[in-house]
Amino acid sequence: MKGPYPEIQGGGSLILAWQVRSKRVLVVGGGEVAAGRIVNILNADAKVTVVSPREGLNEEVAYRIDQKQVDYVDRKFEPSDLDGADMVLTAVDDPEASSQIYKLCHEKRIPANIADVPPECDFYFGSVHRDGPLQIMVSTNGNGPKLASIVRKQIASGLPSNIGMAIQRVGILRKKLRKVAPAPDEGPKRMQWMSKVCEQYTLDELCEMTELDMETLLGFYRPGDVPSLEAVRLRESDGAYDGPFLI
Q: Which residue of the set 74, 86, 116, 122 is catalytic?
A: 116
Gap between the Cα atoms of 54 and 14, Å rounded: 36
Residue type for position 55: E
Measured distance CA(13)–CA(122) in Å, rounded: 10
Q: Is 213 in the active site? A: no
Please give the C-alpha separations between residue 236 and each of 216, 240, 242, in angstroms, as whole numbers: 7, 6, 9
Quote the CA–CA distance of 223 and 8 in Å, as a whole number: 41
Measuring CA to CA, how many Å separate 237 from each of 56, 138, 164, 215, 247? 63, 46, 29, 14, 16
List the catalytic residues: 116
